């Protein structure tokens, strides 16, 4: 009997001892069992390194421990790339160390990719997870936002890039699964997005995918995105780096589009509009308020 398709799971982590056990438990709870787990240590200084090494020693057929040379911190993009290069299987699923999966994530996403061989990546909806704290207020804040695009369909390139630049939601990395060889052909993740700019490494990766590959977008929620003050996005926001990070991302995107000969007028207009809003934050706030007032009157 032929073996079912297999998936490599990449979990990059840095000082994640508070959350890593939950992430791995959600992998172990999957209904689909033919997987390998790559734990990629991005220079941890806490007990998570020891925990990950111990798991790899205890379960060598299922779990591998990887790290950068000299136990360096190189950023999540470099850590994901290290995992992709080491992956043995045709499909790759990402899981951030502070997030968790719902139990049918692997089984259902593999079924979609097997049914649609032309599709390079699949993603769905994500639960923004506050109730992990055990508080009543957290439970009330849990929600699964609309993606802002039509679901349960295949998108040809570069449709999703147009939609996301116009305001649709970017996927959560913990929700995606992709074909390893096609993502390697794209050059993987952009390692320049680290430190202050680390919050945009996923958007740069998705821009490359959406620009060149077919993607299936599902209506199903497969992951829980833990909301906490230590996350990359929360840290960037607290430090006031959001606009600087977005500007660098848009600069990179413009250079990438030019290098690949992209002349799509809608994409370029969106890039110019987003850059204008960053350069003119006061006017942008005024215009947003005016749109809300007009919308309320028309409603």
Question: What are the pLDDT digits (tens) for 262-274?
Answer: 999 999 999 999 9
- pLDDT of 293: 47
Does residue 121 sit within a domain? Answer: yes
Does residue 296 sit within a domain? Answer: no
276-286 confidence digits (pLDDT tens): 888 877 555 65
* Residues 160/149, Cβ–Cβ less than 8 Å: yes
- pLDDT of 279: 85
Mean pLDDT of 196-218: 93
pLDDT-based confidence at residue 244 (cuts at 50, 70, 90) = confident
| Domain range enclosing 33 | 7-242
* Residues 138/224, Cβ–Cβ less than 8 Å: no
Does residue 267 sit within a domain? Answer: no
Percent of the chain with pLDDT over 70: 88
pLDDT surpassing 60 at residue 210: yes
* Residues 9/95, Cβ–Cβ less than 8 Å: yes
Q: In this predicted model, which residue has the larger pLDDT, 294 or 274?
A: 274
* Residues 173/204, Cβ–Cβ less than 8 Å: no
* Residues 93/80, Cβ–Cβ less than 8 Å: no
| Number of domains composing the chain | 1
Does residue 38 sit within a domain? Answer: yes
Residue 94 sits in a domain whose CATH number is 3.90.550.10
* Residues 98/231, Cβ–Cβ less than 8 Å: yes
- pLDDT of 237: 52
Structure tokens at 114: 């097997």
225-240 confidence digits (pLDDT tens): 999 766 565 555 555 5
106-124 confidence digits (pLDDT tens): 999 999 999 999 999 999 9
Does residue 125 sit within a domain? Answer: yes
- pLDDT of 288: 56
Does residue 49 sit within a domain? Answer: yes
134-178 confidence digits (pLDDT tens): 888 888 999 999 999 999 999 999 999 999 999 999 999 999 999
Does residue 39 sit within a domain? Answer: yes
Does residue 102 sit within a domain? Answer: yes
Closest CA to 246 of 205, 176, 196, 297: 196
């Amino acid at each position: 009997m032929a073996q079912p398709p297999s998936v490599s799971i990449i979990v990059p982590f840095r000082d994640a001892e508070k959350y890593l056990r939950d992430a791995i438990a959600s992998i172990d709870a999957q209904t689909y069992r033919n997987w390998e787990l790559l734990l990629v240590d991005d220079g941890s200084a806490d007990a998570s390194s020891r925990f990950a090494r111990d798991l790899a020693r205890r379960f060598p057929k299922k779990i591998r421990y990887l790290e950068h040379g000299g136990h360096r911190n190189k950023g999540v993009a470099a850590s994901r790339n290290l995992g992709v290069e080491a992956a043995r299987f045709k499909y790759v699923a990402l899981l951030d160390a502070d997030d968790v999966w719902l139990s049918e994530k692997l089984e259902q996403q593999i079924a979609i990719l097997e049914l649609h061989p032309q599709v390079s990546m699949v993603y769905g909806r994500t639960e923004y997870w506050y109730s992990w704290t055990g508080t009543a207020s957290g439970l009330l804040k849990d929600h699964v936002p609309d993606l802002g695009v039509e679901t349960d369909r295949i998108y040809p390139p570069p449709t999703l890039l147009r939609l996301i630049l116009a305001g649709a939601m970017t996927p959560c990395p913990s929700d995606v699964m992709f074909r390893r060889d096609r993502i390697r052909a794209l050059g993987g993740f952009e390692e320049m997005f680290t430190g202050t700019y680390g919050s945009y490494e996923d958007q740069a990766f998705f821009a490359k995918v959406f620009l060149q590959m077919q993607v299936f977008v599902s209506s199903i929620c497969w992951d829980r995105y833990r909301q906490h003050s230590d996350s990359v996005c929360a840290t960037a926001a607290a430090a006031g780096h959001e606009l600087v990070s977005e500007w660098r991302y848009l600069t990179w995107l413009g250079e990438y589009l030019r290098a690949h000969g992209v002349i799509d007028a809608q994409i370029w207009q969106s890039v110019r509009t987003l850059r204008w809003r960053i350069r003119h934050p006061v006017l942008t706030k005024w215009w947003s308020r005016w749109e809300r007032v007009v919308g309320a009157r028309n409603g």
